Structure 1
Amino acid sequence: MTEQSKKPPRRSRGEGGVYWNEKRQRWVATRVVAYDDRGKEVRKTGYGKSRSAAIDAVRRLVRAYENGVPPGAEKLTVRDAVDDWLRYGQGQVDESTVKTRAYLSAHVVDGLGDVLLRKLTTKHVEAFLAELAKTRSTRTVADVKAQFNSAIKRAVARDLIERNVVEFAVTPRGRAGRKSKSLTERQALDVLELTKGHWMYPYIVVSMLVGIRTEEMRALTWNHVDLDSNPPAIEVWRSVRTSGDTKTKKSRRTLAIPDVAVQALRRRRREQEADRARAGSDWAGTGHVFTASVGTPLDAANVRRAFRSALKLVPSVDAKEWTPPELRHSFVSLMSAGGAAVEQIAHVVGHSDTSTTERIYRHELRPVIHTGATFMNEFAGMEVVNPEWHMDPLFKMPGNGQVRQADDGG
């Protein structure tokens, strides 16, 4: 005797109606959850291949109703949640940030877009991230997860689902990303010398010799450049961010600029005046230092293309391998090679602490680090004259003033 032909057991209180639907070939469970203004029943209906499955289905619907989940939410997919967040959940952010988030979120839609929100599990998320990690860097994998997490968090806040399963997923390690690098001293001199004929030369000089961020360079205006003061200086008070503010409070700074940069900026002013004359009424007149031929500010793509075009004039570097932000890395590394303390460098480049300067920006330009060997040569060559020789007690034998040799244990 089939399950549907059996006489169903007596329903428990609050279970609602359960019956076999011959047309659908499914068990159907129904339950009244409320009454509308006219006294009409508001019912929830669940289906299943077995009686217990149908009851479980209607229980989930009732629970969702009681938790305030909107009607139709059970049909929403991951794609719907991501689209909703991209459209309404980002707040006031830069256009470039919107594009970046859309790019990262596209990975989520491609991988899990058709999965129903209410059926999304941590296992789904971790499998998706593991697959992504095969072809993307660790940073990209983490960024994709962050965008996914924001979308699902918004869905939870709107009562579309009960919990954020993305938050509990483990982020795998992806492929090693491209590390930023610095021009060597020789390469830096070649760039300064051989790009003089390129219109990008003033940008390169200021970026490399003053250490300003690319987002600060593009936002720099002439009213923040004083070439006639003593010393000549640039007020780094703005960036291309939506707010117009610099990245951090310490990034807002006024910097003295070297003579080569002063000459480059004077040249830039002359070239811009020539551009203005040629453009005539088409001139935009934004007041920016670095502009296109009609006075409009440069965007990141403009700068990147022009920078690589200029580097093609320098045989000692591969233009395709360098990006504009690495001029700032070069500035930090050249200052370090010149003997500047890391605290000084961090202050100049506007870092809130020295750890960022040391971990990310400062690259060792010397092929061999001599400091340790030089110190130890001097140490080993010293003569022990008397027992009172002022040396760390760790290296002295009690009472005889001789240097203690290391034991077998190191």
Structure 2
Amino acid sequence: MVDVGTDPATGKRKQLTRTLGTLKEAQAEYARIAVRRHNGALVSRNKMTVNEWLDQWLAKKAEDLEESTISTYRVTLDRVRGRLGHIRLQELTEDDVEAWMLWALREGRIRATKAGPGLRVTSVEMSLARLKEALNRAVARRLVAVNVAQEVRIPRKARKAERRAKAEVPPWSVTEVHAFVRAVRDHRLYAPFLLSLMGLRPAEVCGMRWADLDLDKATLAVANTRTLVGNKTVVEKDTKSLAGERGLPLPAPVREALRNFKATQAAEELAAGRAYEGSGYVLVDELGAPLDVRQLRGQAYGVMAENALRRVRLYDARASCFTYLANHGVPDHLLARWAGHTDVRATKRWYVKPDVEDLRAAAHAWTGLTGLPTPVVREM
């Protein structure tokens, strides 16, 4: 029996009892516990399960995270709960986590009562990251001695296999952007589509209010977003980060398109009378009701299908925008500001994606290295 401190709730002395086979074993265990207590690393036994701890951890995280973010956390950890949630937190092992990871990669997509194909590497990695974060907090709370998931990694072979099986869809090239602009020139949502091509996130376009625009000064303020939680519930909130709250200049074609769209909405309001909602948002339907990101995407995909354009995510218009700006000499610090990032490395890593034609100037420059003359191309 070892004294291990006092209960903070009652002030009573707390003791641990261990039963061992010999006096020598008991003395060794007593010394081990005493040392861990002295070092502040003693973990008292408890019967809490992984699920119970995740519930507590998520409830605490919800105090500091946006509703959409905590919803993502819950979905991400739900992938873990089914196979690991019933295990006692202190009995969870690295082998348990490793086995879950391999199962998730092979057959983690649950279909009704049976397993389906494996989850994507990114999905498994996100679940692992959240589990590691929760277990790190459990270590800090002295509920467990170590984070057993800390060294679990996605096998390199799994990453390579996924890359071979699914090629990344590149964003639109400049030529494809031109084709899309021509296709939407007479579309009712021409102005919101141009805002997307300016690099605004779909949630930022949906959250844009007329009050955020100064058409006389040709500026806009990104300060509000409307996103979907669980692909169903619309949530209105401020920007993704402090850097996301930013002011941007309006290019002349975008300002003109917005002026026309505002006039269109005024005519629609007059025609609808009392049926018009008057929500104050830029992106609304003919009766003034705000559109959500799914509806905006649906309109864009409809244009792509009708005009035989290569289908890409509307979100990837950001990559087309920032790649073009980077290729045309916009400095890194301005590029990050336009994107709504604090660190330009994030902008360049995720959104600057030069294609073969973007590298053509480098190919011409290479000729100077050799000293060879540039051949004159003769038309046939």
TM-score, L = length of structure 2: 0.70
Please tell me the residue identity of whatever aligns with 1:233. Answer: T
Q: 1:269 to 1:314 in 2, by over 3 A?
A: same
State whether residues 138 and 172 of structure 1, in contact with CA within 8 Å, keep that contact through their aligned partners in structure 2. no
1:92-111 to structure 2, matched below 5 A, reads: 92-111=64-83
Q: Is structure 2 residue 202 aligned with structure 1 residue 214?
A: yes
Q: Aligned partners of 1:35 and 1:84: how far apart in 2?
A: 23
- 2:14 and 2:331 map into 1 onto residues whose CA distance is 69
From 307, 313, 333, give the equivalent of 2:323. Answer: 333
| Aligned counterparts of 2:251 and 2:299: Cα–Cα separation in 1 | 23
Show the 5 A alignment for 1:200-239: 200-208=189-197, 210-229=198-217, 232-239=218-225
- Cα–Cα, structure 1 residues 92 and 355, in superposed 2: closer, same or farther, change >3 Å? closer
Q: 1:224 to 1:201 in 2, by over 3 A?
A: same
What's the CA shift string for 1:177-206, capped at 9, x where partnerless?
A: 774632122321221122345443321122
- In terms of mean alpha carbon deviation, does 79-88 or 113-122 score higher? 79-88
Structure 2: distance between partners of 1:34 and 1:355: 48
For 1:195, the equivalent position in structure 2 comes to 184
Gaps of 5+ in 1: 1-13, 15-30, 383-410
How many residue pairs were aligned? 335
1:109 Cα deviation from its structure 2 partner = 0.5
Aligned to 1:375: 365
Are 2:141 and 1:141 equivalent residues in the alignment?
A: no
Unaligned runs of 5+ in 2: 107-117, 228-235, 374-380
Relative to structure 1, is the Cα distance of residues 226 and 165 closer, same or farther in structure 2, using a 3 angstrom cutoff?
Answer: same
Deviation at 1:356, TM superposition (A): 3.2
SS at match of 2:153: coil
Q: Which residue number corresponds to residue 355 of structure 1?
A: 345
Query: Shift in Å at residue 107 of structure 1?
Result: 0.9
Letter matched to residue 269 of structure 1? K
Equivalence for 2:295: 302
Q: Is the 8 A contact 2:79 2:127 kept in 1?
A: yes
Structure 1 residue matching 2:220: 3-state secondary structure: strand
- Contact kept? 1:129, 1:172, Cα under 8 Å: no
CA distance in 1, matches of 2:59, 2:6: 35
Q: Show the counterpart of 1:273.
A: 266
Pair 1:120 & 2:103 matched:
no
Give the conservation status (yes or no) of the 8 Å contact 1:220–1:236: yes
Counterpart code for 2:83 = G
For residue 355 of structure 1, report the CA deviation from its aligned partner.
3.1
Contact 1:203 1:290 (C-alpha < 8 Å) held by counterparts: yes
Match in the other structure for 1:150: 133
Paired position in structure 2 for 1:129 = 101
For 1:172 and 1:302, the matched residues in 2 are separated by 38
Q: Distance in 1 between matches of 2:350 and 2:290?
A: 28
Aligned-residue offset at 1:144: 0.9
Q: SS in structure 1 opposite 2:150?
A: helix
Cα contact 1:215–1:239 (8 A) shared by 2? yes
1:376 Cα deviation from its structure 2 partner: 4.2
> CA separation in 1, counterparts of 2:341 and 2:3?
62
Q: Which amino acid aligns with 2:98?
A: E
Change (3 A) 1:104 1:258: same
Q: CA deviation at 1:245?
A: 4.1
How far 1:142 moved relative to its partner? Answer: 2.6
Task: Compare relative contact order (CA 8 Å, sep 6+) and give the higher one, 1 or 2.
Answer: 2
Rounded to whole Å, the distance in 1 between the matches of 2:256 and 2:16 is 77
What letter corresponds to residue 167 of structure 1 in structure 2? Answer: Q
In structure 1, give the amino acid aligned to 2:319: H
Aligned CA distance change for structure 1 residues 247 and 292 (closer, same or farther; 3 Å)? farther
- Between Structure 1 and Structure 2, the one with more helix by share is 2
- SS of alignment partner, residue 359 of structure 2: coil
* Counterpart code for 2:219: A
Give the 3 Å change call, closer, same or farther, for CA 172–111 of structure 1 in structure 2: farther
Task: For residue 132 of structure 1, give the secondary structure of its aligned residue in structure 2.
Answer: helix
Instruction: Give me the whole-angstrom Cα distance separating, in 2, the residues matched to 1:262 and 1:193.
Output: 17
Q: Over alpha carbons, which structure has the higher Rg? A: 1
**Equivalent-residue separation in structure 1 for 2:214 and 2:195 (angstroms):** 14
Deviations 1:36-90 (A, max 9, x none): 9xxx999988899x999xx9xx99xx9999999999x733221222222223433
The residue aligned with 1:166 is 149
What corresponds to 2:171 in structure 1?
182
